[in-house]
Structure 1
Amino acid sequence: MITRPFPFFSEGIRLDADLHLPDDNGAGAPYPVLIPSSGYQGLKVIHPERFARALTQRGYAVLAFDYRGFGLSEGERGRLAPQEWADDLRAAVDRAAAAEQLDADRIGLIGWGMGGGVVVAEAADDPRVRAVASLNGISDGRRSTRAMHDEESWNSLVERVAADRGHRAEHGRSEITSPWDIIRLDLDGRTDGYVGEELYKAPGFGSGVSLESADLLLRFSAEAVADRISPRPLLIIHGAENELHKPEEAEALYAAAKEPKQLKFLEGRGHTEWMFDDDPTFKSVVEDLDAFFGSAFAQERQPQPATADAH
């Protein structure tokens, strides 16, 4: 795999990014390009680079980036807004579509966790995206967040978010809280263990998040726009025992989307404990992704609904 810096701007904010290419001396150029969208607190050095290591071997270019406010990207620290992440992802598509080594007619998105909803939101109004894969994603921010909490912690979060709205209106800033006050990892032992042992290795992971971020998450819904991806294909893969983002999220996204669509549950697997380069489940998912995008890119581009260019 060959890696080079590939920064770009989103709404005037410089985002740190890398372009990962197959090590074939350019023989496969212009390359089909896949853009991974990280999940909550995600950084490009975690799962996006994991997908890059696996998928560049199969002839894809992979554009990995940090959202605004994370990693070495510019932007307000602690602000984690899926609506703005969709704008960042669209800017990544802009960057990829203009690069000589990349094939602007073969661009696909891979979303992980919260990013699984973000890719749907971005592709809904971006006909340049040929295919979308949502892995262990969220379909509705309020429902998925509520499912992570017990009654006491949920009521506390809702009350804090409501109070913060008034504070922001008066003082212009939001309270910073622990990211795990919003996303309750401790109720999912397998994910909690993986995060503590693996993800905290990435510098900056686990940093504080604003309560405004929680407010925005609770208002985010990928399923509300999922039908606009059609006639482009959507692949949904979800851990059947995912206790962080429940399987109901995958079912709701699938129900909201139009054909062509696929839904696959990973039996016996949770949210993220299998995300290692050499794990058989991860390797199987890579096989699925390769088959899905390979098929999508091989087909003739279908006419898009008139609403696809609305934004």
Structure 2
Amino acid sequence: MPERKDRARNIEKLEMRPVEFECHGELLRGDLYLPKNRSHNSKLPSVIVTGAWTSIKEQMSGLYASELALRGFASLAFDFRGWGLSARDDKVKYLENPNRKIDDIRAAIDFMGRCEEVDPDKICGLGICGSAGYMSAATGGNRHIHSLALVGPQLYNSEIIAEVYGGADEVIALLKLGRDASIHEVPRYIVAASKVDETALMYGVEYYTDEDRGLIPEFDNKFNLASWEELLTFDGVGTAEKQNQPTLIIHSEAAAAPKGVKEFARRMGDRATTLWFEDVSQFDFYDKSAPIDRALEAVTEHFHSTL
């Protein structure tokens, strides 16, 4: 993947079109990336790209979408309801609710099928980090999707959730916190990422706390405490059971919860291909040139070979 100056020049090879579509009567806003050198008489294969939890379309999903457009795809990065530009008219904000986001992805799939530039028989899904389970749930058994890729997937089940969050008692406490927040008259938000606020969801976590990386002006940097119940009871690993798309999984032992990825792949059997990178952290998958370039090469090959 090109470095920033080269990437800025490459953006000139793309058309980025602001788009809107609805989910359950609520408006979602996104960016549709198209290669400028496309034949206007032909339909393009397309990819819907989603990013890590709390993220917006100007972060990793937009990066991957723009790079895929340079490789000949019509690519969509969008803000989930309550996040980024989609939060503008939404009363429910900063809610990391897997089922709500799964519905948003399904709405995005329907939208792409209606785009005049898109071949409706060649629509793909790409889920990055925390949205990988959402993407898997939204695309499994969906006749409008024809191929799937997961990059740096953060796939949890109840066992892994207990390990990540410090044991069953800590999970129970977070569930209670989430339930209390969900019935609270006023929404309860905390900072999503901070280097100084120890109460932040992601305290001292790289990428999100670096202005040269994920801490961009558009980033909401908030987390709705009512998220916890749905988030901690969502079984991302279990979505493999209904996942019938040819699937490429790209991960690293140095990234988030490789145990969940291995179990997901085991359940998918020969429907999935797993590519393991060495010494690549979770955050490297978000914006580091070398692993992203390798991932995009593999994802592009996978989509072309399975469509």
Q: TM-score by structure 1 length?
A: 0.83
Whole-angstrom distance in 2 between the partners of 1:228 and 1:167: 32
Aligned to 1:85: 101
Structure 1 residue 80 displacement after superposition: 1.4
User: Is 1:71 equivalent to 2:84 in the alignment?
Assistant: yes
Name structure 1 gaps, 5 residues minimum.
Answer: 187-191, 298-311
Structure 2 runs not aligned, ≥5 long: 1-13, 194-198
**Deviation for aligned residue 1:275:** 3.4
For the structure 1 residues 73 and 55, does the alpha-carbon distance in structure 2 shift closer, same or farther, using more than 3 Å as the test?
Answer: same
DSSP 3-state at the match of 2:119: strand
Separation in 2, partners of 1:227, 1:150:
27
- 2:264 corresponds to 1:248: no
Would you say the 8 A contact 1:229–1:257 is kept in 2? yes
Instruction: Quote how far apart the aligned CAs of 1:38 are.
Output: 1.5
Matched, 1:206 2:221: yes
In 1, Cα distance between equivalents of 2:101 and 2:259? 23
CA distance in 2 between counterparts of 1:110 and 1:25 reads 22
Amino acid in structure 2 at the alignment position of 1:30 = K
Total equivalences in the alignment: 284
1:167–1:68 CA distance, 2 compared to 1 (3 A): closer
Identity of aligned residues (%): 21
Corresponding position of 1:216: 230
User: Is the CA contact 1:164–1:175 (under 8 Å) kept in the aligned structure 2?
Assistant: no
CA–CA distance in structure 2, aligned partners of residues 136 and 11 of structure 1: 30
- What do you get for the CA RMSD once the two structures are aligned? 2.3
2:8 aligned with 1:2: no
Per-residue CA deviations over 1:211-231 (Å, capped at 9, x if unaligned) read 22111111111322313222x
Residue 145 of structure 2 is aligned to residue 129 of structure 1: yes
Displacement of 1:161: 2.7
1:176 to 183, 189, 202: 189
Specify the alignment match of 2:3 in structure 1.
none
Counterpart mapping for 1:9-48 below 5 A:
9-27=22-40, 29-48=42-61
Per-residue deviation, residues 2-22 of structure 1 (Å, max 9, x unmatched): 011111001111001111001
State the alpha-carbon separation in 1 of the partners of residues 174 and 207 from structure 2. 28
The amino acid of 1:101's aligned partner reads E
Q: Could you tell me how far 1:119 is from its partner in structure 2?
A: 0.8
Contact 2:80 2:101 survives alignment (8 Å):
yes
1:236 maps to which of 240, 249, 252: 249
Report the Cα offset of residue 202 of structure 1.
4.1
Contact 1:56–1:62 under 8 Å retained in 2: yes
**Letter in structure 2 aligned against 1:224:** G
Q: How much has 1:206 moved relative to structure 2?
A: 1.7
Among candidates 173, 181, 187, match of residue 159 of structure 1? 173
Give TM-score, length-normalised by structure 2.
0.84
Relative to structure 1, the CA distance from residue 205 to residue 142 in structure 2 (aligned partners, 3 Å threshold; closer, same or farther) is farther
